[in-house]
Amino acid sequence: MLTMGMNDEEAKFLLNVLERYNSHLEIEIIRTHHREFREALKERDNILKTLIDRLKKLMG
């Protein structure tokens, strides 16, 4: 398991970056016509959403 410490400001910044990337990724998924690439993007989206949820829980 990998761990990393960060302060509240860093955590908020990271959450903001992840959420912005997530919104761009969702648009890319919609615009992608190649099925295999779209599925890979959806898998990345699921991982990203999991990370966002975990970070939000840690921030309380």
2 assigned to some structural domain: no
Q: How large is the angle between the packed helices 35-59 and 8-31, nearest 10 degrees? A: 160
The per-residue pLDDT for 6 is 94
Structural domain boundaries, residue 40: 11-59
5 assigned to some structural domain: no
> Tokens in use for 46?
């699921």
1 assigned to some structural domain: no
Count of domains forming the chain: 1
Condensed to tens digits (0 to 9), the pLDDT of residues 19-47 reads: 999 999 999 999 999 999 999 999 999 99
The per-residue pLDDT for 60 is 85
From residue 26, give the alpha-carbon distance in Å to each of 5, 15, 38: 29, 16, 10
Dist CA 19 CA 46 (whole Å): 12
43 assigned to some structural domain: yes
29 assigned to some structural domain: yes
The per-residue pLDDT for 35 is 97
Q: What is the mean pLDDT of the chain?
A: 96
15 assigned to some structural domain: yes
22 assigned to some structural domain: yes
6 assigned to some structural domain: no
The per-residue pLDDT for 48 is 98
